[in-house]
Structure 1
Amino acid sequence: MAEPDEKKQPTNAVEHLTADNAKFATLSVDAKDATDKEHRMTLRQAIKLYPKAIAWSIFLSSAVAMEGYDIVLIASFFAFPPFTKQFGEQQPNGKYQVTAPWQSALSNGARVGEILGLTINGIIAERYGYRKTMIGTLIAMIAFIFVLFFAKDIGTLVAGEVLMGIPWGVFQTLTTTYAAEVCPVVLRGYLTTYVNLMWGLGQLIAVAVLRGFLKRDDQWAYRIPYALQWVWPIPLLVGILFAPDSPWWLSRRGRHEDAKKALQRLTSNTPEADLDQTVAMMRHTDELEKEISSGTSYWDCFKGVDLRRTEITCLAWAVQPLCGASLMGNSAYFFEQAGLGTGVSFDFSIGLYAIAMVGVVIAWFTMARLGRRTLFVGGLVFMCLVLLIIGFVALAPPKAKGPNFAIGSLLLVWALVYNITVGTITYSIVTEMPSSRLRTKTVVLGRNIYNVIGIINGIITPRMLNPSAWNWKGKSGFFWAGMCLLCLVWAFFRLPEPKGRTYGEMDALFEKRISARKFKSTAAELFADEVVEEKAEK
């Protein structure tokens, strides 16, 4: 006598939910429709369908320019005569230098504030939404600029940098997560990495402003650059009052109708059925993540499957400051200590940040073709070689002018490669790796790792370059080349390829523990067999 067929047992979160929850099975049909449409959507179609999402993402991302401006401003002040004369000490050669400990304090003050701001953002953004969080931090920033503008001693400047770091910590992650959640897969890489373009724009403006004030020798030479920071927050504040909130955040809060309304404001002429299917995809992803890991606290980032996702996010962020980026952040001071004149140092810095912005645009084209992982790993290989060459060139006699210009030129090449690869691609990677329910908190943790390493860099980099400290100058290239090599080893074995994957597909691949090098070629089983069969019958 034939034995009755045994019912297939669920083997993963998707099958468990489909077997136990008829409502989820119905939701899956619409979610699969939306997922298939996202995969078929071309870049041209996405731009036509999501013009308002693109505009709002670009608008909010411009807030990051403020941080890029101040971070480079304070580092460039170390090579700015009016500032060093006011806040520095006279050296045996007659020139003024801000001492290495105060350089570290000024560089790290903002980092300390950013860590606090990031931690706060991980809590309040998920509770009150991205729009309200941005409005509150912009108001705080307008007030904090007064501290920097009216500072009369270096201690007050440090306090002002700490305070300014709090809103910057919010901007660092909120802008990228907002961009990641208001656009479809095909636009995600472009809009999340646009943040790096704004970072570069802020840096370029800072160096250009100081270059324009080099001929002044009074206090306004450094106070006016601080005052220019009031230009950004007010128009941003007015605009964000009218911005839609993230539909993914609204869906996670159970406000599905509000999520649909937000999508209507982010898209153009979208049929009602398509909006319903997109919301269904969000709900499907949220339910799947609840099945895999039910929590949404910081502690849940370190549990189960999410531990690996947190590791990748944190270490991807860590690669940026570990691969030599602090040389670019201190470029004017680096060039001056390498033997170039003050004016030439600022000219080189302007060129460096202009090249960096060009690198971001090049990254948009290469990323679409090569993906994230290939660019990330390849960029680390090239940067490691350039840093080694900088170190060897710096071994030349200190009075020779040729090697000094060679070092400056090599750092420009390094900056271009950095912004085509690691500097830009990281912003996309860190928003694609976490689960939707833990995205904000995971990105916050990653950026905090970035800032902690930035604090360490803020202590050691001035000492590497300062003639009254270690005085390594260009030979610091050897140190950063070694760090770059360590980052390369990690990226090769641990960094997966997220290009073209929806958030639900990323969940499925991580749940199955697919290795980093097989991520690209593995098919994601996002829907149960019966859902696929039902779709085929329609």
Structure 2
Amino acid sequence: MVAGAVLSANPLKLDIRSHKKCVGICAVVTIASFQYGLDYALVGGFMAMPGFLRVFGYLDPVSGKWAIDPTVQQLISSLMTIGTFVGSLLVGPFSSRFGRRHGLWSATLMNFIATAIMIGTTNLGALYFSRFILGISVGWFLTFAQVYVNEAAPAHLRGIMFAVYQSQLSIGSIVGAAVDRGTHLMEGPEAYRIPLAVFFVAPTIQTIALFFFPESPRWLMTQGKEEAAKSALRRLRNKNISTAEFEAEFNEIRISTHEQMEQRHGKHLWLEMWRGRDRRRTLLSIAIICFHCANGSSWVNIYTTYFLNAAGVTEAFSYSVMVTCMGLTGALASAFVVRRLDRRLIVLIGVGACGLCQLAFAITWTVAPGSVAAAKCVIAFISLFTFFYVAYAPYAWLMGGEYPNNHLRAHTYGVATALNFLGNWLGVFTAPYFINPASLGWNAKYGYIWFGSNAILFVFTWFCIPETRDRTLEEIHEMFEANVPARKFKSYVCTSTRAMADAAIKETEVNSVVHKENVVRTEKV
């Protein structure tokens, strides 16, 4: 599984320097993930803020401290996830008509509305509504950004760009945890209103930048706008790229997309994604994307501060910042190895390590519940869990977007993302029943359940997940159409896709020779 000679039909130079422009564009587009990380860190911290609890919680007559009702806690956390579920289902229809950039702009508008309501309201009903709208916004930010990067980035750089995507998410978590730490001791509502104002920053930057970026060339091609697609691809590539390379890449996209559209012309995309060979692609996309909710990350991420505080860990907010920093470290570490290791290997290591971490802090809390030693051990393994989860998480998103064909990508990816968020909602909604002292009070013993789920993910990856490292989306389409078994994806030679690229290169060479001959004749005359 270590990198070797990849039999790819990618006609571009396999470096980073030759594609600096596209790397920069994709990096700005992935700012959208900042919002998701920010929300997870901010809202998790709110649950332990006196300033927030004075408005939306109650004073516990027994302990004399401010607390929050488990149902309110569940709704505040889970309604955002329900919003992402609904929003993700709308990605396909919206994207088919309006494209990826307009999806990101719409997400920004909803983000501004939801954030303004959250800052201004003291009513639980309005807070619930704003969390739902924010969820739709976050779902669109994540999905449209990932689809855009999948379709815009060169094949050999998609892995790195998704590592950047995950880094942005981790930075959002760090910023959220740090801002929470700075305001959590404030007694008034400014304790949570100041952190909420940060929600305006990233979308504003992205919205302005998108005016200068092209639409996805593959989406334009599915709309029959061939010249616009070619112009968009040209804007995504460096000016010094050779004509032969550019024409070869564009020819792959053009021919493959036309073939895909001819097969599905006049058919309902919601149904087509479940038929024939597309059913396998849809199921694989859903499965790998749902790894995010099936490994227990939802309860670890959003309840870290609350969990540590409930477990009697001092300086819970400071430790929460440390945990999010471990996530960023994992994302950066994966960026250095993604060009050298197969994606399946990264995912196998990730889910295996996450499962062992869940088991470790569950056993620790079973042996010595409530002790200082157990608390320190739990912090250590939560940090390790976050490192390994964030290190492999971007490639689960990446492969989930690579498997569908160009015409069905937004619909398939939207459904897969929606189901992942539904799983996240289930994890977030049920976690308080397990970890809240007012309910079962399991604390870290909740990890036993998630150890089992990670074991299942490990086995599924080993037998069912195809390797797609450095393959163009058109090559991946050819392999699925040829019904190649998952274990043979890495060694398969995509002759049809390579022929598309070679035909464009030969045509470019012929045109170049003809042009030179015409110049010579003109000079002689």
Seen in structure 2, the aligned counterparts of structure 1 residues 530 and 285 have a Cα distance that, compared at 3 Å, is closer
Q: Is the 8 Å Cα contact of residues 247 and 258 (structure 1) preserved in structure 2?
A: yes
SS state of the match for residue 302, structure 1? coil
Alpha-carbon distance, 1:360 to partner: 0.8
Question: Is the counterpart of residue 48 in structure 1 residue 17 in structure 2?
Answer: yes
Seen in structure 2, the aligned counterparts of structure 1 residues 404 and 533 have a Cα distance that, compared at 3 Å, is closer
The equivalent residue for 2:197 is 227
Give the structure-2-normalised TM-score: 0.89
Seen in structure 2, the aligned counterparts of structure 1 residues 282 and 296 have a Cα distance that, compared at 3 Å, is farther
Question: Is the counterpart of residue 322 in structure 1 residue 291 in structure 2?
Answer: no
The equivalent residue for 1:65 is 34
The equivalent residue for 2:54 is 85
Seen in structure 2, the aligned counterparts of structure 1 residues 531 and 113 have a Cα distance that, compared at 3 Å, is closer
The equivalent residue for 2:133 is 163
SS state of the match for residue 50, structure 1? helix
Seen in structure 2, the aligned counterparts of structure 1 residues 373 and 293 have a Cα distance that, compared at 3 Å, is farther
User: 1 CA distance for matches of 2:498 and 2:197?
Assistant: 58
Q: Deviations over 1:210-254 (max 9, x none)?
A: 100123111111111112222233232222122111111112212
Which residue, out of 267, 279, 289, partners 2:237?
A: 267
Question: Is the counterpart of residue 298 in structure 1 residue 267 in structure 2?
Answer: no
Unmatched runs of 5 consecutive residues or more in structure 1: 1-33
Alpha-carbon distance, 1:289 to partner: 2.2
Q: Is the 8 Å Cα contact of residues 248 and 503 (structure 2) preserved in structure 1?
A: no
Seen in structure 2, the aligned counterparts of structure 1 residues 440 and 529 have a Cα distance that, compared at 3 Å, is closer
Q: Is the 8 Å Cα contact of residues 44 and 302 (structure 2) preserved in structure 1?
A: yes
Q: Is the 8 Å Cα contact of residues 76 and 332 (structure 1) preserved in structure 2?
A: yes
The equivalent residue for 1:102 is 72
Question: Is the counterpart of residue 519 in structure 1 residue 489 in structure 2?
Answer: yes
Alpha-carbon distance, 1:277 to partner: 3.0
The equivalent residue for 1:37 is 11
Alpha-carbon distance, 1:112 to partner: 1.7
Which residue, out of 173, 176, 187, partners 1:206?
A: 176
Q: Which amino acid aligns with 1:242?
A: F
User: 2 CA distance for matches of 1:374 and 1:36?
Assistant: 22
User: 2 CA distance for matches of 1:350 and 1:531?
Assistant: 48
The equivalent residue for 1:339 is 312
Seen in structure 2, the aligned counterparts of structure 1 residues 530 and 492 have a Cα distance that, compared at 3 Å, is closer
Seen in structure 2, the aligned counterparts of structure 1 residues 336 and 256 have a Cα distance that, compared at 3 Å, is same
The equivalent residue for 1:375 is 346
Q: Deviations over 1:128-149 (max 9, x none)?
A: 1222222233123222211101
The equivalent residue for 1:360 is 331
Question: Is the counterpart of residue 287 in structure 1 residue 248 in structure 2?
Answer: no
User: 1 CA distance for matches of 2:250 and 2:244?
Assistant: 10
Alpha-carbon distance, 1:274 to partner: 3.9
> Mean alpha-carbon deviation: is it higher for 290-299 or for 141-150?
290-299
User: 2 CA distance for matches of 1:86 and 1:55?
Assistant: 42
Seen in structure 2, the aligned counterparts of structure 1 residues 144 and 273 have a Cα distance that, compared at 3 Å, is same
Q: Which amino acid aligns with 1:37?
A: P
Q: Which amino acid aligns with 1:497?
A: E
Q: Which amino acid aligns with 1:60?
A: V
User: 2 CA distance for matches of 1:489 and 1:36?
Assistant: 31
User: 2 CA distance for matches of 1:201 and 1:125?
Assistant: 28
Q: Deviations over 1:447-488 (max 9, x none)?
A: 001111011112111221111111110101111111111222
Alignment of 1:96-495 (within 5 A): 96-269=66-239, 270-290=241-261, 293-294=264-265, 295=267, 297-326=269-298, 327-341=300-314, 344-421=315-392, 423-495=393-465
Q: Deviations over 1:284-331 (max 9, x none)?
A: 111332355554612211111111111111111111111110212211
Unmatched runs of 5 consecutive residues or more in structure 2: 1-7, 510-525
Q: Is the 8 Å Cα contact of residues 387 and 481 (structure 1) preserved in structure 2?
A: yes
Give the structure-1-normalised TM-score: 0.87
Number of residue pairs the alignment of both structures matches: 497
Alpha-carbon distance, 1:532 to partner: 7.5
Alpha-carbon distance, 1:531 to partner: 9.8
Seen in structure 2, the aligned counterparts of structure 1 residues 125 and 457 have a Cα distance that, compared at 3 Å, is same
Seen in structure 2, the aligned counterparts of structure 1 residues 328 and 533 have a Cα distance that, compared at 3 Å, is closer
Q: Which amino acid aligns with 1:48?
A: R
User: 2 CA distance for matches of 1:502 and 1:370?
Assistant: 17
User: 2 CA distance for matches of 1:304 and 1:419?
Assistant: 34
Seen in structure 2, the aligned counterparts of structure 1 residues 520 and 273 have a Cα distance that, compared at 3 Å, is closer
> Mean alpha-carbon deviation: is it higher for 247-256 or for 234-243?
234-243
Q: Is the 8 Å Cα contact of residues 50 and 186 (structure 2) preserved in structure 1?
A: no
> Mean alpha-carbon deviation: is it higher for 67-76 or for 399-408?
67-76
Q: Which amino acid aligns with 1:297?
A: L
SS state of the match for residue 281, structure 1? helix
User: 2 CA distance for matches of 1:392 and 1:530?
Assistant: 56
Alpha-carbon distance, 1:208 to partner: 0.4
Seen in structure 2, the aligned counterparts of structure 1 residues 355 and 36 have a Cα distance that, compared at 3 Å, is closer
Alpha-carbon distance, 1:370 to partner: 1.5
> Mean alpha-carbon deviation: is it higher for 103-112 or for 486-495?
486-495
User: 2 CA distance for matches of 1:399 and 1:487?
Assistant: 31
User: 2 CA distance for matches of 1:444 and 1:511?
Assistant: 22
User: 2 CA distance for matches of 1:462 and 1:480?
Assistant: 15
User: 2 CA distance for matches of 1:336 and 1:482?
Assistant: 26
The equivalent residue for 2:515 is none
Alpha-carbon distance, 1:49 to partner: 2.9
SS state of the match for residue 394, structure 1? helix
